[in-house]
Amino acid sequence: MNKLLARQLKRHLAWADDSTVETLLQSIERAADVVEDPAAVGVLRNFRRLLTAVDDAYSQFDRDVALGSRSLQISSDELTQANETLRQEAARRQRAIDALWQTAGQLQLSLGLPPMDQKTADLEQLSALMGQLVDAREKAEAALLAQEAQFRTLASNIPGVVFRCQIDYPWGMYYINEEIEVLTGYTSNVFLAPNPSRSYGSLIHVEDLASVESAVNVAMMHGERYSVEYRIVDAKGQLRWVYERGQVVRDASGHAEYLDGMIFDVTEQKNAANQLRQLSAAIEASPSPVLITDVKGKIEYANPKFEQTFGYLLSEIRGKNPTEVLSGSTTKPIIHEQIMQSLMEGAEWRQDLRNRCKDGSLVWMSVSISPIRDGAGQITHFVAVYENIELRKAAEQELIRAKEAADQANRLKSDFLANMSHEIRTPMNAIIGMTHLTLQTELTHKQRDYLSKTSLAAESLLHILNDILDFSKIEADRLQLEHIPFSFEALFTQLRSLHQIKAEEKGLQLSFNLAADCPVAFVGDPLRLGQILNNLVSNAIKFTQQGGIRVDVEMVAQLAGRVRLHIAVTDTGIGLSPEQIKLLFKPFSQADGSTTRQFGGTGLGLSICKRLIAMMEGDVWVESVAKQGSTFHFTLWLERSEEAPLTEVRMSRGPNLHGVRILLVEDNPLNQQVANELLVGAGASVILAQHGGEALAWLSIKPMPCDIILMDLQMPVLDGHQAARLIRTDARFNDLPIIAMTAHAMSDERQRCLDAGMNDYITKPIQPDVLFTTVAKWAGQHIIDMTQVQVDDGYIDESIVPQIEGVNTQSVLQRLMGDAHLYEALFKQFLTDYRDANATLAQLLQSDYSGAERFAHSMKGVAGTLGMTELAAKAGRLEQVLHANPGQAGESLQPFNDALDAMLLAVNRVYGAAAPQHVMTALDDEHIDALMMQLLDLLDACDGDAVDLYYQLCDGLDSDIDRHLFDRLGNAITNEFNFTAAKQYLLEIQHARGKK
CB 248 within 8 A of CB 217: no
For residue 308, is it within any domain? yes
Residues 245 and 257 in one domain: yes
Confidence of residue 86 (pLDDT cuts 50, 70, 90): confident
Distance CA(861)–CA(863), nearest Å, equals 6
CB 681 within 8 A of CB 968: no
pLDDT of the residue at 415? 63
Maximal C-alpha separation, the chain: 211
pLDDT of the residue at 432? 67
For residue 452, give every residue at least 6 positions away whose Cβ sits within 8 Å of its Cβ, in sequence order, or none.
439
pLDDT of the residue at 595? 30
For residue 673, is it within any domain? yes
For residue 104, is it within any domain? no
Strands 685-689, 661-665: pairing kind: parallel
CB 336 within 8 A of CB 369: no
CB 992 within 8 A of CB 965: yes
Q: For residue 406, what is the enclosing H or E element? A: helix 390-439
Confidence of residue 860 (pLDDT cuts 50, 70, 90): confident
pLDDT of the residue at 594? 41
DSSP symbol at 108: H
Residues 573 and 623 in one domain: yes
Q: What is the CATH number of the domain that holds 631?
A: 3.30.565.10
Name 259's bridge partners.
165, 248
Strands 562-571, 509-514: pairing kind: unpaired
Q: Look at 6-10, 353-357, 800-804 and tell me which has the smallest mean pLDDT.
A: 6-10
pLDDT of the residue at 787? 38
CB 343 within 8 A of CB 351: no
Torsion angle (degrees, nearest 10) of CA 471, 476, 481, 482:
-110
For residue 486, give every residue at least 6 positions away whose Cβ sits within 8 Å of its Cβ, in sequence order, or none.
521, 522, 523, 524, 526, 529, 790, 791, 793
Residues 726 and 704 in one domain: yes
Give the domain-ending residue among 916, 937, 968.
916
Residues 674 and 784 in one domain: yes
Residues 195 and 318 in one domain: no
Three-class secondary structure of residue 920 per DSSP: coil
Q: Which of 667, 991, 673 is nearest to 821 (CA)?
A: 673
DSSP symbol at 981: H
CB 764 within 8 A of CB 864: yes
Residues 763 and 666 in one domain: yes
Confidence of residue 449 (pLDDT cuts 50, 70, 90): confident
Give the domain-ending residue among 916, 945, 966.
916
449-474: average pLDDT: 69
Distance CA(784)–CA(775), nearest Å, equals 10
For residue 44, is it within any domain? yes
Give the domain-ending residue among 28, 49, 71.
71
Strands 256-265, 239-250: pairing kind: antiparallel
Is the confidence at residue 453, as pLDDT, over 80? no
More confident call, 655 vs 618 = 618
Terminal alpha carbon distance of the chain = 194
For residue 368, is it within any domain? yes
Q: Look at 96-105, 444-453, 584-593 and tell me which has the smallest mean pLDDT.
A: 584-593
CB-count burial class (<10 Å; 0-12, 13-18, 19+) for 60 = exposed
Q: What is the CATH number of the domain that holds 876?
A: 1.20.120.160
User: Residue 277's CB: how many other CB atoms inside 10 A?
Assistant: 10
For residue 674, give every residue at least 6 positions away whose Cβ sits within 8 Å of its Cβ, in sequence order, or none.
766, 815, 816, 822, 826, 865
pLDDT of the residue at 784? 36
CB 532 within 8 A of CB 612: yes
Is the confidence at residue 213, as pLDDT, over 90? yes
Number of DSSP helices (H) and strands (E) in the chain, helices first = 33, 22
Q: Which of 729, 728, 751 is nearest to 740 (CA)?
A: 751
More confident call, 744 vs 800 = 800
CB 922 within 8 A of CB 886: no
pLDDT of the residue at 264? 92
Residues 833 and 732 in one domain: no
- Across the chain, what does the average pLDDT equal? 79
DSSP symbol at 798: G
- pLDDT digits over 950-980, tens only? 767 776 665 556 666 777 787 677 655 677 7
Residues 380 and 399 in one domain: no
CB 538 within 8 A of CB 654: no
Q: Which of 812, 732, 693 is nearest to 764 (CA)?
A: 812
More confident call, 558 vs 476 = 558
Rounded to 5°, angle at Cα 663 from 659 and 667: 145
Q: Look at 228-232, 362-366, 570-574, 743-747 and tell me which has the smallest mean pLDDT.
A: 743-747
Tell me the torsion sign for CA atoms 896, 351, 349, 337: negative
CB 346 within 8 A of CB 369: no
CB 711 within 8 A of CB 695: yes
264-276: average pLDDT: 86
DSSP symbol at 114: P
Residues 302 and 338 in one domain: yes
CB 443 within 8 A of CB 454: no
For residue 100, is it within any domain? no
pLDDT of the residue at 919? 37
pLDDT of the residue at 234? 93
Share of the chain above pLDDT 90, in %: 17
pLDDT of the residue at 812? 82
Using CA atoms, how far residue 467 sits from 417, 481, 604, 797, in Å, is: 11, 17, 6, 13
Distance CA(852)–CA(857), nearest Å, equals 9
For residue 246, is it within any domain? yes
CB 451 within 8 A of CB 434: no
Is the confidence at residue 710, as pLDDT, over 70? yes
CB 714 within 8 A of CB 742: yes
Distance CA(810)–CA(798), nearest Å, equals 6
Q: How many domains does the chain fold into?
A: 8
Is the confidence at residue 995, as pLDDT, over 60? no
Is the confidence at residue 83, as pLDDT, over 80? no
Q: What is the CATH number of the domain that holds 311?
A: 3.30.450.20
Residues 690 and 564 in one domain: no
Q: What are the backbone angles phi and psi of residue 736, rounded to the nearest 5°?
A: -80, 115
Rounded to 5°, angle at Cα 719 from 337 and 662: 165
pLDDT of the residue at 73? 59
Domain around 46? 3-71
Q: Which of 280, 354, 360, 279 is nearest to 312 (CA)?
A: 360
Three-class secondary structure of residue 107 per DSSP: helix
Three-class secondary structure of residue 559 per DSSP: strand
* 129 CA to centre of own chain: 78
Confidence of residue 243 (pLDDT cuts 50, 70, 90): very high
Rounded to 5°, angle at Cα 189 from 188 and 191: 75
pLDDT of the residue at 757? 92
Q: Look at 136-145, 445-454, 870-879, 916-925 and tell me which has the smallest mean pLDDT.
A: 916-925
Is the confidence at residue 17, as pLDDT, over 50? yes
Counted residue by residue, the chain has a size of 996
Residues 800 and 788 in one domain: no
Residues 688 and 788 in one domain: yes
Confidence of residue 946 (pLDDT cuts 50, 70, 90): confident
- pLDDT digits over 745-788, tens only? 444 567 788 889 999 888 765 667 778 888 888 887 543 333 34
Tell me the torsion sign for CA atoms 87, 88, 90, 91: positive
For residue 275, is it within any domain? no
Distance CA(565)–CA(491), nearest Å, equals 15
Distance CA(522)–CA(530), nearest Å, equals 14
Strands 760-763, 738-742: pairing kind: parallel
Please count the CA atoms within 13 angstroms of the CA of 39 that sit on its side-chain side.
Answer: 0
Is the confidence at residue 290, as pLDDT, over 50? yes
Percent of the chain that is helix, strand, coil (3-state, to 5) = 55, 15, 30
- pLDDT digits over 646-674, tens only? 434 334 344 678 778 899 998 877 678 77
Three-class secondary structure of residue 39 per DSSP: helix
Is the confidence at residue 708, as pLDDT, over 80? yes
More confident call, 703 vs 846 = 846
More confident call, 129 vs 827 = 827
* 735 CA to centre of own chain: 35
pLDDT of the residue at 983? 85
CB 902 within 8 A of CB 880: no
Cis omega before residue 703 (within 30°)?
Answer: yes
Can you give the three-state secondary structure of 153-210, one letter per residue?
A: HHHHHCCCEEEEECCCCCCCEEEECCHHHHHHCCCHHHCECCCCCCCHHHHECCCCHH
CB 220 within 8 A of CB 242: no
563-573: average pLDDT: 94
Rounded to 5°, angle at Cα 101 from 99 and 103: 65
Q: Look at 52-66, 282-296, 350-364, 522-536 and tell me which has the smallest mean pLDDT.
A: 52-66
Q: What is the CATH number of the domain that holds 741?
A: 3.40.50.2300
Q: For residue 537, what is the enclosing H or E element? A: helix 526-542
* 114 CA to centre of own chain: 76
